[in-house]
Structure 1
């Protein structure tokens, strides 16, 4: 009887979440901020892609010119380019042979741009949703929502809105990057392009979930959106510092445990072909997202709206 009594309440909560999610998503899509943030992310990605593409082309041209001057044949040029590619892949993937083999068909421009944009993606997420809760709590318009819906439904609906919006924006940018890579690298076939586009997009989304939840938490802590944004950036810097110090400590340092407390530490295996490695990273980001959301809910439930 207890379970049957609770079941309708669960359905009501799900309905409230869906209603809030759909209404907030429509409002977000129509807002000018979405267009501005898409343009900002697009220009940054395009700039990085063009610079990386130009540098890659210059290096290849310099190697080809040097080999031509020394009288080496075409096979030597191909071999040297392949060794250079493996060296860059080894640096980007920490010399993981399985990842180097799995990413062998992906142009270097895509990998470098992915690594750089992934580093700045948490800051982009903070700019996107720093006022998702504080923007309602500050002017006290949140109380009108909580009269009609549970606080948990409001929180989850706003979290899903930002996650959905980010999912679409990242897909647009990744698609543009892969189209550029396909045009610039004729040997990068459509089958490999489609498969790797899905893989990179999924990796970016899994990576982003924890940071979307972190933004929700920061937005729940304060009434002023500007304070939420500043505090969010402070936490991002703290997490980056923990990861950097933990990695610098190596496997025997006394501070090596700090890296395990930072979400960014688990990003390295998001492109791993092994299901166990990818699953472990995905589970870590799911745990971070769950902890941040539960903390946000506890704060929102306890505070006076």
Structure 2
């Protein structure tokens, strides 16, 4: 078989094995529980703030129009905080409930760790017991690596779509002016942003999994890598403008997450290209390690 056929066969077999295992149920439950917790907390806070605003307006003797204006001002201020004051993004996401935006932002923070837990043994789980030998005599190492990566990506994107759909359904039931058209368009937009974001971190997990024979070491190293990226991005963000330290944040994947929801194609393309470059670098490193090591 050629490389594409080998990749397709491995991808299909790995997808079937993953879907049939109890692991995917546990991963969905873990993702759902965390997202539900964030959703309930954010929803409760939003409801409490809304009630507080209504009470203050009522005590001041203002009418309904004034209450709506105060709520809109609060929303605009909060959107500016979440989106860095980008007017184009604020206008494009004006119809999206705040609970969806907040949960999305929080999700992007913990999603890399979730991906690491999901795929830390995708390669090391085969290298450790040397069962990978039975695969490499029948297929190319590049096909094996890419097939495993694509199978993990397929399962991950399915799980993300399920959770995003649940969050949007919750928002639709709790927000009166969230129309069906806005629901469909923004669901696709948020899911696509999560796809672009997730694939780069999944490639990082593939790279970490290819470095060690013990899956536990792969997971630990992956977590350290994520913490290192987070720390570098934090230092670069707090550094003074145009100082050498401020530029190091461009070396971290999380720096490019802000524009994944941008309405202008140029801004989205920059972030999408950055994540594609990170994914290719990590996958290239994983392939180099897998080809060099004795299996």
Fold shared per TM-score above 0.5: yes
1:276 aligns with 2:266: yes
Deviation (angstroms), 1:254: 2.4
Deviation (angstroms), 1:201: 0.1
1:68 aligns with 2:77: no
1:213 corresponds in structure 2 to: 203
1:301 & 1:215 partners in 2: Cα distance?
Answer: 17
1:46 corresponds in structure 2 to: 36
Deviation (angstroms), 1:206: 0.1
**Equivalent of 2:232, from 233, 242, 245?**
242
2:45 & 2:208 partners in 1: Cα distance?
Answer: 39
1:180 & 1:102 partners in 2: Cα distance?
Answer: 21
1:191 & 1:12 partners in 2: Cα distance?
Answer: 44
Q: CA RMSD in A?
A: 0.7
1:121 corresponds in structure 2 to: 111
Scaled by the length of structure 2, the TM-score of the pair is: 0.99
**Range 243-252 or range 110-119, more displaced:** 243-252
CA spacing shift, 1:202–1:250, aligned 2, 3 Å: farther
**Equivalent of 1:22, from 12, 26, 38?**
12
Give the total of aligned pairs.
Answer: 295
In structure 2, runs of 5+ residues without a counterpart are none
**Equivalent of 1:83, from 73, 91, 95?**
73
In structure 1, runs of 5+ residues without a counterpart are 1-10
Cα deviation, 1:73-105, whole Å, max 9, x if unaligned, reads 111110010000001100111000000000000
1:168 & 1:121 partners in 2: Cα distance?
Answer: 14
2:249 corresponds in structure 1 to: 259
1:253 & 1:36 partners in 2: Cα distance?
Answer: 45
2:18 & 2:247 partners in 1: Cα distance?
Answer: 39
1:106 corresponds in structure 2 to: 96
